[in-house]
Amino acid sequence: MNERLFGIHGAALTLRSQRMGVIASNIANAATPGYKARDIDFNAALDARLARARGQAGAGPEAGMVWRRPTMPSLDGNTVELAREQVAFAENAVAYSATLSFVQGKVNSITRALKGE
Amino acid sequence: MPDRSPMTLFGLTTRAMSAQMVRMNAATSNLANAGSVSSTEEGAYRPIRAVFAVELDRASGIAGVATGGLVRADTAPTRRHDPSHPLADRDGYVFEAPVDETAEMVEIMESARQYQNLVQALQTAKQLMLETLRSQ
């Protein structure tokens, strides 16, 4: 039902929100020794989620999770690079906004159709 | 912690900001004790450092941060010959706290930057959440 109504955008919004949590975790752990930064490969994660929604035996919920490859290794084993995380966070926020406006547009047209305007 | 609800972005940022505060307080204590002297080697102040540890929340996949505790650096105090000092020992030596002021200042600056970053990320996330809530 969800997929028929919102198409790809329902799953995309959930994923964007998840990715925001992952990147925020990286930012929070910028000073934790040995912490390995992670990210979500959006394409792979979305494919896996859509396959699961269609009932195909796809990959688990960890699908699309990737480790961030640091430009330069640091002495304490931490792979967070604050500038990169900031950029990724900003990019993700913009994409979230875009997906949200798609969902809003869908909801608006359905509401208008229901009201018969 | 047994009865804990899944970590949200707000919980994550709160924990991370507290951790940064502990770190900043430790560095400030070190700065405050820079130059303090003692009459014994054991009695001299040793710089403290906050150690961070990852706190993974499996339910939401969010990795928070916790202060694993404070450790004291085991750098030896600087021995200075100053017989006129009231705290000088029998041989006329005092032991000065081995605090590197520049390193502590850098530590505070780095901590402040990361704190700022967290606040910025939280603001953006909150804005998006509000937008999602208000949409009709």
Neighbouring C-alpha atoms within 13 Å toward the C-beta of A85: 27
> pTM of the prediction?
0.84
CA of B127: which chain A residue's CA is closest? A93
Give Cα separations from A34 to A7, A38, B33 (angstroms).
40, 13, 29
From first CA to last CA, the distance across chain B in angstroms is: 38
Nearest to B61 by CA among A106, A26, A51: A26
Task: Tell me phi and psi for residue B37, to 5 degrees.
Answer: -115, 160
Of A33, A96, A103, the CB nearest to B52: A33
User: Which pLDDT does position B3 carry in this prediction?
Assistant: 45
CB–CB contact B54 A30 (8 Å) = no
* Minimal-distance CA residue of chain A relative to B23: A31
Q: Please give, rounded to a whole number of angstroms, the shortest distance from the CA of B39 to a CA of chain A.
A: 35
Whether the pLDDT of residue B6 is over 80: the answer is no
DSSP designation for B39:
S
Calpha distance B136→A108 (Å, rounded): 8
The shortest C-alpha distance from B107 to chain A (Å) reads 11
pLDDT at A28: 93
Among residues A105, A40, A96, the alpha carbon closest in space to that of B125 is found at A96
What's the gap in Å between the CA of A21 and the closest CA on chain B? Answer: 6
Proportion of chain B above pLDDT 70, given as a percent: 96
Instruction: Tell me the pLDDT of chain A (117 aa) as tens digits.
Output: 567 788 889 889 999 999 999 999 999 999 999 999 999 999 999 988 888 877 776 666 677 889 999 998 889 899 999 999 999 999 999 999 999 999 999 999 999 999 987
pLDDT digits (tens, 9 = 90+) for B101-114: 999 999 999 999 99
Q: Which residues contact B22 (CB under 8 A, 6 or more apart)?
A: B50, B67, B70
Q: What are phi and psi of A61, to 5 degrees?
A: -65, -15
Question: What single-letter DSSP state applies at residue B77?
Answer: P
Which of A25, A30, A107 shows the shortest C-beta gap to B114? A30
Question: Which 8-state DSSP code applies to residue A63?
Answer: T
Beta carbons within 8 Å of A88's beta carbon, 6+ residues apart? A23, A39
Confidence (pLDDT) at B135: 74
Q: Which long-range contacts (CB under 8 A, 24 or more apart) does A66-69 make?
A: A66/A38, A66/A39, A66/A40, A66/A41, A67/A36, A67/A37, A67/A38, A67/A39, A68/A26, A68/A36, A68/A37, A68/A38, A68/A39
- Structure-token pair, residue A112: 């208008």
The ipTM assigned to this model is: 0.80
Q: Assess contact for B37 and B87: CB atoms under 8 A.
A: yes
